[in-house]
Every structure is written in C-alpha cells, then in structure tokens.
Structure 1
Amino acid sequence: MIDFIVWVLQNIALAPYHLFLAITNPGDWLNWSNPEAVMRFIYYGASVEFFFVVMTAFAVISALGMAWKREILWTCVRVLEAFANGVGRFAAWAGLLMVLQQVMIVFLQRIFRVAEIQLGPLGTAFSQDLSWWGEELKLYNAIVVCLCVSYTFVQGSHVRVDLVYSAVSHRTRRVIDMFGSLFFMIPAITITYLYAWFFMWRHLMTPTVTATSDLDRMLMQARIFRWNVETIGFSPNGFNAYFLFKILIVAFCVMVFLQAIAFFWRSYLEWIEGEDSAGKYADYDTTGDEAEDLEHAIHSGST
C-alpha cells in the first residue's frame, strides 16, 4: 500500500515535467512522417504519464476554483459545455442526412432500379454500389450516438429512472452528482478509452500494438511501421470504412470524459451556491413552446 501511494505521488510530482516535455518537443510525437513519432503518440495517448497529467491538471484547477476563485470553475464549465453543445448541434445534422439518404435509397432501389450512386463534387468522381450507401447509414447513426452524447447530457435529455434522486433536496442531488462523476463516469470512461485507443490503432497501422507494450518495444516496432487502414466490408460491395467507427469510439470517450469533469464542477458550484444557481450559465435548447420547454426542464431536473 505504501509503495502504491509513493508511486502515485511520484507520478503527480512528475506530471508538470512530462507536460513541459510534450509542449516543448512537439516534433517527437506530432511529426508523423517519422514512424517513431507515431509510436510515441500511440504510447503516450493511453499511458500512465498522460493519465496523471490530465488528473493533476483537473486537481489543480479544482483546487484553485474551490480555494481561491469560483469563477475559474464557472469559466471551465461554460467552455466545456459550449464545446459539448457545439459538437452535438453540428453532429445532429447527421440524423437529417441519414433520413434523406434512406429515402433516396428506397426510391432509387425500389422504383428506378438503380444499381449504384455516383457523385461528382468539384470535378471528382465517387461511385459506390447502392448497398454501400445503405450500410453507410450506420455511420450517421454512430456519429449521432458518439458525438451528441455530451450535448444530450448538457440538455438533460437522457432517459433518467430513479427512486431517490427526485425526492431529495437540491444539495443532496448535487452530492449524488459529484459522487457519480468521480466514481462512475470518470473511471468507466477511462477504462473504455484505454481499450478503445489501442483497438482503433490496430485497424489503422501495422505492426499490432497493445496496452502491455512498453515504449522501447514500440520504438523498435517503428522500424516496420506502415499505415494499414482497414478497408474490409461485411459484403463484397458493402461499406468498407469501418475504421471510422473505431475513431468515433475514441471521440465518444473524450466527449464523455470532458463532460464528466464539467458535470463535477457544475455540481460542486451549485452545491456551494445553493438552489438559485441551478442551471446557471446553461445553454439549453428551446422549442418555442413555453409549456413544452417547462415540462422538459422539470423532467430533466434543470428547474
């Protein structure tokens, strides 16, 4: 136990040094024309060093906001929630594209008996079988799920079933929210990210990298590094860019992790400042119908 505590303290103490090295030597991990830089990026993207840099930054910002000036935390909350809303509102258009494309496929396939769809934007030609476009609809669905998850959370639109939360006081709810952020959201999404990170890279390049590979081994593997982007579909003429789904899983993890931090900070601030601060600075969407907006706010817990 003592050895573990010493290990944690050492990594926390070294976190500023590791961050300084990464900032001052970007070519060592961002120059992707160099295979060793790619391997460093892959290694550090899910490394112990990166984990402690992120968590130390979270702890320092939290301490500054709690002990010195709460506006620091409010600013961070507003920035993170604005990011979640911006990404989500943009990605939500994929839902409209999915519907329009599905209607187009049905008409072309069932009525006009078209075998393929060809697009030629800006003088280029992109032609794929109709089954390719049909399977590609799953990508739009994945975009909505992965990139709108934090946006939906900010808007209070996730389905919520509880037996205790709605019956307790404002301050008790905020304590529950803080506990859930720290002990459920952050650990769960961190573990998911660690698996998703290497799962993604295994479908983008060779040789295969794993979570158990150390940096020295990965630098040796850089000698045989080459891009090998997955282009295998489930059917001969089907959608063949499934590597995009792996990238979206990582993006999903990042979005949820950032929202977990923002939710913890918001819950703490609303706990400190009282019930009048509930929904402070929140950017909620409206339908234009006051009754419907009020009903949504009541069900989402934002009022």
Structure 2
Amino acid sequence: MLDAILWFFQNVGLAFYNFGYALTHPGLWLDWSNKEAIMRFVYYGGSVELFFVVFTAFLVITAFGMWKTGFMWGVVRVLEGFANTVGRFFAWAGLIMVIQQIIIIFIQRIFARPDIVFGFGIPLEFDISWYAEELKLYNALVVTLCCTYTFVQGGHVRVDLVYSAVGHRAKRVIDMAGSLLFMMPMAVLTWMYGWYFMWRHLIVPKPSASDGLDRLLLKSRALRWNVETIGFSPNGFNGYFLFKILLVAFAGMVFLHAVAFFYRSYLEWREGVGSVNKYLDKDSLGEGEEAFEGTH
C-alpha cells in the first residue's frame, strides 16, 4: 500500500518535469520524418506519463479555479464553446448524408448507373457501393463529434430515478460525482483502447499497449505506414481507418467535457440556484420554442 502511494505521488511530481521536457524537446515526438519520433508519439499517447500530466493539470486548474471562480467559469465557457463549435459544424454531416442517399437512389433507380463521377479533367469516380458505405462515415461524424455538443444542449436522454426529487445542491453533487466516477473513467478507458486500435491500422510493425518505450523504439527500425484501405466489399468504402481516428477524438472530447461539466456543477453548487445555466450557450428553436419543448 505504501509503495502504491509513493508511486502515485512520484508520478504526480514527475508530471511537471515530463510536461516541460515535452514542450522543450518537440522534435523527439513531433518530427515524424524520424521513425523513432513516431513511435515515441504512439507510446506517450497512451502512457502512464500522459495520464499523470493530464491528471496533474486537472488538479492544478481545479485548485486555482476554486480560488478564482472567474477563472473556472472561463474554463467552462471555453470547453463548452469548443464542444458547441465542433458539434454545430459536424451536425451538417447529417444533411449531407440525406442528400447523398437521395442522389444514390436517383442514380441507381432512374439513370441505372453503377458509379458516380465528379470533376473535370481527372474525374473522381467511385462505384455506387462506395458512396453507399460512405454514409456510415457521416453517421459516425455526427455520433462522435456531436456527442458533447448534445450534452451541452441538454439533448441526451436522462434516466431519472432520484435526480428530479432532490434539491439544487444535491443535484449538483450528483452531477459532480457522475463526471468524476463515470464520464472521466469511461473516456480514459475508451482513449486507451482506441489509441492503440487506431495505430495498429496505420503503421507496421503493429504497436501494442503492453509494449514499453524501448521495445517500440526497436520496432521503429522497421516502421512504415500501412494505412487501412480494405473495405467490406471489393468496390466499397475503403477509408475505415477514419473511424478509428474518430473513436479517439470522441474519447478526448468526452473527457474535456467531463471536466467542463464537473466545473459547472461545482460552481452552480457553490453559487446557488441563481447560477444555473450561467453563460450557457444553448441553441434556440426560435419563437414558440417553449410550446414545442412542452410536448416532449
């Protein structure tokens, strides 16, 4: 037990050094013309070192924010603004998905063409099945990159057994516990799984979560890019590596919003009922919104 406690505080202390060293030596992990730099990036992206850098940063920002609540509100506004901006932009993928499906139906049923060609000179030509399978990508963009936006807007379904029956301060305690015990751990586990899952479909030799830095640096001698381009059908969509990237992006955004949600819940608990939805940038349906929401 004592060894575990010592290990924990040792890693928290080393987080400051590791963060500073990474900032002052970017070439060691960002110079991707060097194969060893790529492997360092792969290793540290799913490492204990990165976890403690993020964890320590969270502790420092939280402590400072509890002292200066204006700073914490600023963090909340930035993180919620990021979620809203990304979500509002990629929500258009849903419209693109519908339009493309309509085009596919017209090309197949009316013009009886097996492919769709775009462009002049050197055209972009893919089989109909490629475009049909690509629709999954638009759906994935909406699911992964609009998730935190929907959370900010209060659009997720809440299974409420206790929440509505308790007071304001109890609700904020439940929200803080939920962000710390459920959102953050889920995001970390998804990141750890998704990070190596992504890189195993981008490079060879395939990295593993069990590989240490020394072993990955040895593997870097034979490293080459091997981006996944295999589809489910011969002429189908061949960019499935993009789904792995979206999984990592989803985990990162959920973690960031878990931080924002914890901070908002804490501030609303501290400042009282009058601070509920303070600075919240929530979309409006326009005139008659209240009547529409009342039917749901």
TM-score scaled by length of structure 1: 0.95
Using the aligned pairs only, state the percent identity.
62
Three-state SS of the structure 2 residue aligned to 1:127 is strand
Q: How far did 1:294 drift?
A: 8.0
Q: Which of these residues, 247, 259, 262, is aligned with residue 261 of structure 1?
A: 259
CA distance, structure 2, for counterparts of residue 182 and residue 159 of structure 1? 19
Deviations 1:218-250 (A, max 9, x none): 001000000000000000111111000000000
2:55 is aligned with 1:55: yes
Question: Partner amino acid for 1:114?
Answer: R
- Superposed CA offset, 1:69-120 (max 9, x none): 1011100000000000000000000000000000000011011101111112
Secondary structure of 1:56's partner?
helix
Report 1:160-199 matches (<5 A): 160-199=158-197
Contact 1:287 1:293 in 2 (8 A): no
Corresponding residue for residue 71 of structure 1: 70
2:79 match? 80
- Give the unaligned 5+ runs of structure 1: none
Cα distance change of structure 1 residues 291 and 144 upon mapping to structure 2, 3 Å threshold: closer
Which residue does 1:233 correspond to in 2? 231
Check conservation: 1:204, 1:230, Cα contact below 8 A.
yes
- 1:292 deviation in Å? 3.1
Separation in 2 of the partners of 1:153 and 1:256? 10
1:291 positional shift: 4.0
Matching of residue 34 in structure 1 with residue 14 in structure 2: no
Paired with 2:292 and 2:75, the residues of 1 have a C-alpha distance of: 27
1:48, distance to aligned residue in structure 2 (A): 0.5
1:188 Cα deviation from its structure 2 partner: 1.2
Residue 65 of structure 1, CA deviation = 1.1
Secondary structure of the equivalent of 1:71?
A: helix
- Find the residue that maps to 1:233 and give its secondary structure: coil
**1:97 and 1:291, CA in 2 relative to 1: closer, same or farther beyond 3 A?**
closer
Superposed displacement of residue 154, structure 1? 0.3
Structure 2 equivalent of residue 106 of structure 1? 105
Within 5 Å, give how 1:126-165 maps onto structure 2. Answer: 126-165=124-163
- The match for 1:292 is 290
1:233-276, Cα deviation, whole Å (9 max, x unpaired): 00011111100000000000011000000000000000000011
| Deviation (angstroms), 1:192 | 1.1
CA contact (8 A) 1:286 1:293 kept: no
Q: What letter corresponds to residue 164 of structure 2 in structure 1?
A: S
Partner of 1:248: 246
Following TM superposition, the consecutive aligned residue runs of length 4 or more in structure 1 with deviations greater than 6 angstroms are none
The 2-side partners of 1:92 and 1:293 are apart by: 24
Instruction: Return the offset for 1:38.
Output: 0.3
In structure 2, what is the equivalent of residue 210 of structure 1?
Answer: 208
The root-mean-square deviation of aligned C-alpha atoms, in Å, is 1.4
Q: Which amino acid aligns with 2:92?
A: W
The CA distance in 2 between the partners of 1:177 and 1:214, in whole Å, is: 37
Q: Name the CA distance, whole Å, in 1 between partners of 2:178 and 2:215.
A: 38
The SS at the match of 1:53 is helix
Q: TM-score, normalised by structure 2?
A: 0.97
Q: Distance in 1 between matches of 2:122 and 2:14?
A: 51
**Aligned residue-pair number:** 296
For residues 293 and 224 of structure 2, the distance between their equivalents in structure 1, rounded to whole angstroms, comes to 54
Q: How far did residue 163 of structure 1 move? A: 1.2
1-structure distance, mates of 2:292, 2:235 = 48
Local SS of the residue matching 2:186: helix
Distance of 1:102 and 1:84 partners within structure 2: 28
Deviation at 1:124, TM superposition (A): 4.6
1-structure distance, mates of 2:81, 2:53: 23
**Counterparts of 1:189 and 1:228, CA distance in 2:** 27
| Residue type at the aligned position of 1:256 | V
SS at match of 2:125: strand
Letter in 2 for 1:287: L
